[in-house]
Structure 1
Amino acid sequence: MNLRTLAFRYLSRQRLKTMLIVISISLGAALLSASQVFLASIEKSNELSIQSVYGDVDLYVGYQLSIHDELRKPLTEEDLKNLESLTEVRQIGTIHYPYLGYEEEYEMWDDIYVGFNEEPLAYESTMVDIGEQTIPAEREVIVSRAYASIHDVAIGDNIDLLFPPGEKEQVKIVGYSNEDREDLSSVLLFQAEWLQSVTRKGPTMAMLQLDSHESKQSVHDQIVQMNPLLNVDLLEETNDLRENVGGLLPILTSINIAVIIVSGLLYRSIMEVMIQERNQQLAVLRLVGASKRNLLFLACIETLFVSIVSLFIGLVIGICTALMILSAPMTFADVMIVTTEIPWLSIGFYLLLYVASLFIFSVFPVYQASNVSPISTYQQSSSQLTLTRKRVRLFIVLLVCTLILSILSFVTTDVWLHVLSMFSIITLYFVCITHTLRFALRFVHAIIQPLRHSSVWTLAPLQLLRHLQKTKAIAMLLSACIILTTLGFTTLENLKQTSIDQLFSLNPADFRVTSYAYGNYALQNQGFSPELYDEITLQNDVSEPSNYFTTPFIGLTTNLPKTTWATEDVDGTAQVLAQIKGTDLHPYLEEARQGKTTINELDPFDVVITERTADALGYEIGDQINLKSIESDEEAFNYSFTVASIVSNHPFLSNEQFEPFDSFFMTPKQMDDHFAITQHSELLLSSANRQAEQQIHGTIESLQLENDVNVINRYAALEEFQEQYNERLYVLAFTIGIMIVLTMAGLFTSSMSTFQARLTELSILRSIGLFHKQLYRILLLEGALLTFISALMASVCSLWLSMHLTFSLQGSLSVLPVTELTIIIVLSPVLGILGFLLPTRWALRQNILKHLT
């Protein structure tokens, strides 16, 4: 008889366990395939969304890509040919941006001139959103509707535009850009060649479309080697969106790995049960000449049979389920799913990894059984594990080393030490689980010694010790489930806390009211009436801290101490754009770090700066700040102010997200006296009522300012983030449910096998006087005790791991899943009772006399 026939017969004889294996592996395979279909569909939909926003462009290349680039020269024909010759480049297009970096020199603050040629990539640029229209011809222009409204022009009109360093040119308006794109409001679109002829030589930069966005870094390296002076914009924001898909990719990857591990442990536990049931048959094979290699091949063939059937069932169920769910309109991870895709390559990879893990886990039980003497196995020697002194010493050494490494990582706060400590803890736990389980059971037995009169409490831990091999398999499976669940919760909670902290730091107030202006027109915006702040603050829902800021005065510093921070250097004088705003300084001066601490102490020419501005620009108390208005030299005004106080970096005063320039602060009266500015440009409002936005909008409408201001609600952003967090939590909860099902299958199979082997023992206990109810309680208590001890040990290990994970992510200990672990420990006996319930009923219904003879 060959090994294939023998393997098939073994599986056929143990139909119940084979069926459980098939169901369990099928569930894992279904989850793996469904997750890949789900992820691929999100990625495809996300890619379509990215292309709609950023265009189908992978790289921008040029000597000057921003105003901060010093080298201001156009791309040459040779540069373009070299870029086009790169193997990964599919096609290339050009952009002419004549006044990039020349805004001050030519006073081109208001409008952005940009030119494109009639080529496919021109329509993929983020600066071209013109629908069915084509790139304008010579002396033609496409403008935004906002531009047309401000300048009172329409399609077909001829307008005179200034093209420095040349003279004015007359151009014809031939179309409008997409009115939904506010960022294009100040963009004027021309034909590139004509724009070069009236401005300066170009093109300014090139657009590259690659064979695959994964080739970005490779192409970047080639460009740098080809010409180190060229700058390359890798569009990192699109990389983040593609790689993480809103943070879903690492979560699904972790879940897939968790499913593979738990399924592998389940398969190992069931295989151990099946191997122990046919120990005598394997011993006979050894006695008649079968080698260890033959037994290992036998296990592999069984795994192959089971895997083929299970993977086919799981693949069909997983793909069909995913396609059915995705057929309904839905949004996940901020991506509207508009298409479905079956990634056969990634599904095949994960299923191969799944099968490989099954083969690896299936070898352990057979290898252990093949190392036992066939004679002792056939004579049914005690299967109880023994702990040698050597193993105990190994356990103690590993424990001490892990403790030392853990303490060092907490003391040094080194991330890699935390990661190494986590690996060491997991290794210690699973390598030495037999020792910890035995010690725990002995400890429980020692505690219940005073209850010796109760046979239920006395026998349960002893029976678990006696069958420690099968007990260990269940404990490993349950522990893996708990540890993976805990790490998943800890990671999500850390990400949640970090994201909320970032959200609150970027939006320091609950509500932010700003002037409605776009692009460089914001520099000329007149703001809105101070009456709005007075009316809003009268509402009961608005509380402290709240504040207002006047329309800023923007100018150039002419005596900057730190010249390295300057953006321009004119006539040997370091200059940088800065702004002066008026606000209520009273709450900030009270906590001043240096200088004056009350408004009454401020002189008419005093200003207040934050610590961030002081560090960045180098100003100190008493320094003079010379500012020149940004008008032309003939119309410019010069101002001189004194640094009177340096205050702390209050979120309202020092927010880099919304402040393009460094800021100096005055009282509103000073702003009126020096610049005749009384209008407000920004309100920062605090409110405990999330519905206060309705009252704010009501006040805005009553003052007829709805077209002048914009309201930003921090609560809305928080709710959006909470929705994303809940989506990931649902995915984790679903995975936990799958792992619980797999754990229940392992408990059921292991307990059924154990009770089959113990039928003679149970019959003897009944024959010497134990009642049916007593045995029923003993067996159920074994399940409850086993899962409780396993959950307790795994929870301690999980808490230890969570501390290291939290510190490695620079999180707070407040996110440790203490509540979740407490719930797991409390509910774990229920899981054990449910897993042992049906096998217990089956065992106690067997004929006593049949098993005593």
Structure 2
Amino acid sequence: MNIMKLAWKFFVSKKSRAFFSILGVALGVMLLVISQILILTVERSNEYTLREKYGNYDMLVGYQTDKHHLTEDDITFINQIPGVKNSTPLLYPYIGEKMKIPEIAALPMYVGFKNDPLAKEHPFLNIDKGTFPKGNEVILPIRYLKSNHLEIGSEIELPFPPGNKQKVVISGTLKQNEKLENIAVFDYDWLSKVTSNKGKATVLMLKLEDGPSKEKINQMIKSKYPDIFIDNRTEMEKERENIGGLKPFVHTILISALAGSFLIVVSTLQMAILERKRELATLRLIGIKRYQLTLMVIFESMVIGLIGSTVGILLGIVLSFLSQRVVEQLMGFSLVGIVIPWKSLSLCAVSGIVITVLAGIIPGYLASKLPPIVAYKQNEPSLDKYSFLVRWLSPILLIASIAVSIFNYLYTKGPEWIYLLTGLGFLLSMFMGIPVILYLTVKLISFISKPFFGSEALLAGRNALRQMRKNIQIAGILMLAFVIGLTGYLLFSSIAIQAEKDIKTRYPMDYKLQATDSSLEPGFSKNLEEQMKQIEGISSISIPTALFGLTLNLDQNHIKNWNGQLFNINGKKQVHISLRAININEVTKFHSIKVLEGTIDQRALRNDGVIITKDLKKLGFQLGDYIQIGRYDEVMKGKNAGHRFKIVGIIDKMPVLPSDEYTAYTDQENLGKYFKINTIEQIQYNISNPSLSSVIQKKIDNLLNHPDFSNVILYDRQKELLTLHRQVQQRLFILLATVILTIFLGIIGLMNNMASSLRERSREFAVLRALGSRPNQVVRLALLEGVIISLAGGLIGIISGLVFGYHVLAGLEAKEYLFPWQIVLIELIISPLIGLAAAFIPSIWISRMNLIKTLYQE
């Protein structure tokens, strides 16, 4: 007997069921294809953005202190390491302690580059106008030129300790960028000569071959130079590998799509076996062997996989081209064009076929185990016939997971990975226990709906239980969709809420004007503050320039509480702190200040008083003590003993300056009187009248274009929030696509199940019609059955998703927890709608069947 030919006949005889199976496989393969095409396309496009943002090099090797440097022999050794393709040296002549040289501290940081292609990949060499500097030439930031009334071609005198000052010509400007505001670029050879660093390099930029791993190169460099600093550019690598954080979520789609396709094929082939029990029994009676029955089912699944994979690849390629604009909008940059990875697509096709064949092994094995006599019985296996794994292991694992999780939370306070482990255990127990949970849930829903639908609710529930084996896979698919949806939403929401709080903490108000001088005490004229006050619709706070100071009376017993740098002043250790003027009355209009001790009265500050943060208190300062503060450069030169201020208050932190930890706050008059500081470092403001927003921003832009304010840059908190919201939107879009796809697979499977189930019970429905039931009653009964099945699967998914989601948050040490009542409500509404959508067409078919013909069928 030709098994393959027989399998083909069985396949062709049930075209509708075969269509659903092929569609399920095609959707899974289609998602595989789309993901492979779009990931490669986005990676190619993202590479251009990364090169512009980070530069096209792989490693930085060198030192962050002036105590060590790379010699020519060191450079030669590193260049000879296998895998190093090219290198170029960088020189930072004033780094570490040398940065504190007074004549250098107020100037942009000197950096020396060689004039070669690799050096030009460094972000610091982002030249706007002009040419690469030669000897006695320099490239400076645009704002530095504007604030000093210079231009390209101007001559400027700069210090080069330990040597004398040198006159250099400005050969170009750097592009306007916050990171380049404090950089001065010189020719490497010339700079090393005038700073007495001939034959020395601070850092070496490396470009690696494609083959060798960074880890091996790291080990070789570290073994030779244990104290060397290596920047593996992990930020760039992470962004490249994850494509801006989207790659893991794309993989989630693939896993869910493949899992859904797998369950669809298993469900379909199981239904085929149940419907062909008599035919299979007859084949057994005429001598066909068990393994031949298994091969027949596997061959049928292979045909489904082959056709589905082919259709999926074609659909995936077409949809990839059609979705290009959507991807561009989500990613925020233009794609270089759709790239088709043919090798990966071949693997996708093979994967689709292999997974489908694997899905056919279970029904094939069940078919071979089917005794010929039992095959003529049409009853579904009862609940008590399910395996030990379902009846006992599932509840044991469920109870153990919950117990361990609660015990860890209340008593042991163990590592966070325990929550991830117990969450996975809970999810696995729910999945294994679907037969039992589905049985109990269907019973409960039937009982609750009885007052609304009468005996039809009980009858629909019994029909659903009769088809238990067919409905288990469908419940699993819906559970998968809802778990992904709830867990993903909980995770994204928690991260987004915390990130938004961090941004609002970093930027207490909507906008900030910040001085960008390279000096230790940057500032701009109060004239800008006065002109800002004349703009209608603005609420602002001015933050005067802070004193870059040193303590002069630090309690030596509390030095151990300081993790920063210590300065030896007159034989005693002192620390750097800031002394900043603040208008408490203005601050409290916008933010409350948490006072730990004393007062924050402005009059007390004006009378040589200061308030300190709780961090300064750790250095031994108490309420009522005097803190003596001097200007850094004057103290280092021994010119000034500073001034004493009385501590009148201790606060948690200053809300408008959350990052100022070791800071003392006084009145503006004191800074002007004792330290001659009368400039503004930043202005924070809100636009109180949104209708005037565009007009206000235009006025501010005009102010900033004035040469007097060339050292001021505008920060927009809204832009930061928009970037965050765009990232969240990208991930939610991926999440939504995953959930919709999985639900669609569930609808296909449930529709197939309902069609098969109603076909088996066609004579029962015919009897109902013969006894006087109207067609709409038959339709209502079939629809109610579909609703009960989908609602049961949805409830299981909601419970599993909530519990698993909270375990994931706990395992990731999330700071924000919320109950996603909107998502739960949506899923509760969607669950019965899925059943209605899946059962609608089969129910219409059964209501229009030929009554006489059906009753006379054997």
Offset from partner CA, 1:764-796 (integer Å, 9 cap, x none): 333344343322221121112222222223222
Query: Structure 1 residue 93: deviation in Å?
Result: 1.0
* Alignment match of 1:780 (pick from 761, 780, 783): 783
Offset from partner CA, 1:307-339 (integer Å, 9 cap, x none): 222222212221232134327893433444344
Q: Does 1:794 align with 2:797?
A: yes
Query: Structure 1 residue 750: deviation in Å?
Result: 1.0
- The letter for the 2-side match of 1:107 is E
CA distance in 1, matches of 2:58, 2:344: 24
Question: Which secondary structure does the structure 2 equivalent of 1:317 belong to?
Answer: helix
Which position in structure 2 is the counterpart of 1:81? Answer: 76
Which position in structure 1 is the counterpart of 2:101? Answer: 105
1:53-72 equivalent positions in 2, closer than 5 A: 53-62=53-62, 64-65=63-64, 69=65, 72=67
Which position in structure 1 is the counterpart of 2:203? Answer: 205
> Is the 2:305–2:354 Cα contact (8 Å) retained in structure 1?
no
CA distance in 1, matches of 2:673, 2:129: 52
Cα 1:734–1:214 shift into 2, 3 Å: farther
Question: Which secondary structure does the structure 2 equivalent of 1:803 belong to?
Answer: helix
Q: Name the stretch that deviates more: 823-832 or 598-607.
A: 598-607
CA distance in 2, matches of 1:449, 1:206: 77
- The letter for the 1-side match of 2:609 is D
Query: Structure 1 residue 583: deviation in Å?
Result: 0.6
Q: Does 1:168 align with 2:165?
A: yes
* Alignment match of 1:556 (pick from 547, 550, 560): 550
- The letter for the 2-side match of 1:245 is I
1:240-639 equivalent positions in 2, closer than 5 A: 240-326=238-324, 330-344=328-342, 347=345, 353-377=351-375, 379-388=376-385, 392-411=391-410, 412=413, 414-447=415-448, 454-515=454-515, 517-518=516-517, 520-521=518-519, 523-529=521-527, 531-532=529-530, 535=533, 542=539, 547-560=541-554, 561-562=558-559, 564-567=562-565, 569-570=567-568, 573-585=572-584, 587=588, 591-602=594-605, 604-615=607-618, 617=619, 619-621=621-623, 622=625, 624-631=627-634, 636-639=639-642
> Is the 2:268–2:752 Cα contact (8 Å) retained in structure 1?
yes
CA distance in 2, matches of 1:41, 1:782: 45
Q: Name the stretch that deviates more: 135-144 or 692-701.
A: 692-701
CA distance in 2, matches of 1:691, 1:608: 39
> Is the 1:693–1:713 Cα contact (8 Å) retained in structure 2?
no
Q: Percent identity?
A: 24
Question: Which secondary structure does the structure 2 equivalent of 1:108 belong to?
Answer: helix
Query: Structure 1 residue 698: deviation in Å?
Result: 6.6
Cα 1:816–1:191 shift into 2, 3 Å: same
Where does structure 2 lack aligned partners over 5 or more consecutive residues? none
Q: Name the stretch that deviates more: 189-198 or 283-292.
A: 283-292
CA distance in 2, matches of 1:634, 1:457: 91
CA distance in 2, matches of 1:148, 1:533: 24
- The letter for the 1-side match of 2:433 is C
Question: Which secondary structure does the structure 2 equivalent of 1:91 belong to?
Answer: strand
Offset from partner CA, 1:466-491 (integer Å, 9 cap, x none): 22222323222222222222222222
CA distance in 2, matches of 1:132, 1:711: 23
TM, length-normalised to structure 1: 0.89
Which position in structure 2 is the counterpart of 1:762? Answer: 765
Offset from partner CA, 1:797-820 (integer Å, 9 cap, x none): 222223323333444776332222
1:112-261 equivalent positions in 2, closer than 5 A: 112-130=109-127, 135-173=132-170, 175-181=171-177, 183-201=179-197, 202-212=200-210, 215-261=213-259
CA distance in 2, matches of 1:224, 1:402: 44
Cα 1:540–1:726 shift into 2, 3 Å: same
Count of residue pairs the alignment pairs up: 835
1:613-762 equivalent positions in 2, closer than 5 A: 613-615=616-618, 617=619, 619-621=621-623, 622=625, 624-631=627-634, 636-642=639-645, 644-645=647-648, 647-650=650-653, 652=655, 654-656=657-659, 662-686=662-686, 693-694=693-694, 696-697=696-697, 700=700, 708=709, 709-762=712-765
- The letter for the 2-side match of 1:420 is L
CA distance in 2, matches of 1:205, 1:230: 10
Question: Which secondary structure does the structure 2 equivalent of 1:302 belong to?
Answer: helix
> Is the 1:456–1:774 Cα contact (8 Å) retained in structure 2?
no
CA distance in 1, matches of 2:211, 2:488: 30
- The letter for the 1-side match of 2:188 is A
Query: Structure 1 residue 506: deviation in Å?
Result: 1.7
CA distance in 2, matches of 1:400, 1:431: 13
Cα 1:133–1:124 shift into 2, 3 Å: farther
- The letter for the 1-side match of 2:194 is V
- The letter for the 1-side match of 2:159 is L
- The letter for the 1-side match of 2:193 is S
CA distance in 2, matches of 1:409, 1:189: 56
Cα 1:171–1:548 shift into 2, 3 Å: closer
Query: Structure 1 residue 640: deviation in Å?
Result: 3.3
> Is the 1:559–1:574 Cα contact (8 Å) retained in structure 2?
no
> Is the 1:413–1:807 Cα contact (8 Å) retained in structure 2?
no
- The letter for the 1-side match of 2:88 is G
> Is the 1:486–1:802 Cα contact (8 Å) retained in structure 2?
yes
Query: Structure 1 residue 232: deviation in Å?
Result: 0.7
- The letter for the 2-side match of 1:176 is G
Cα 1:541–1:186 shift into 2, 3 Å: closer
Question: Which secondary structure does the structure 2 equivalent of 1:337 belong to?
Answer: coil
- The letter for the 1-side match of 2:533 is E
Query: Structure 1 residue 194: deviation in Å?
Result: 2.4
- The letter for the 2-side match of 1:436 is I
Q: Name the stretch that deviates more: 556-565 or 247-256.
A: 556-565
CA distance in 2, matches of 1:740, 1:375: 38
Query: Structure 1 residue 92: deviation in Å?
Result: 1.0
* Alignment match of 2:811 (pick from 808, 811, 835): 808
- The letter for the 2-side match of 1:554 is F
Cα 1:692–1:213 shift into 2, 3 Å: farther
Query: Structure 1 residue 281: deviation in Å?
Result: 3.0
Query: Structure 1 residue 206: deviation in Å?
Result: 0.3
Q: Name the stretch that deviates more: 260-269 or 682-691.
A: 682-691
Q: Name the stretch that deviates more: 565-574 or 356-365.
A: 565-574
- The letter for the 2-side match of 1:426 is L
Where does structure 1 lack aligned partners over 5 or more consecutive residues? none
Offset from partner CA, 1:587-624 (integer Å, 9 cap, x none): 49974213445334447443222123444x55444153
CA distance in 2, matches of 1:626, 1:213: 56
Cα 1:638–1:716 shift into 2, 3 Å: same
Offset from partner CA, 1:114-172 (integer Å, 9 cap, x none): 22223321111222123797644333434444444444454455544332111233444
Question: Which secondary structure does the structure 1 equivalent of 2:279 belong to?
Answer: helix
- The letter for the 1-side match of 2:789 is L
CA distance in 2, matches of 1:148, 1:705: 14
> Is the 1:409–1:421 Cα contact (8 Å) retained in structure 2?
no
Query: Structure 1 residue 35: deviation in Å?
Result: 2.2
Cα 1:666–1:693 shift into 2, 3 Å: farther
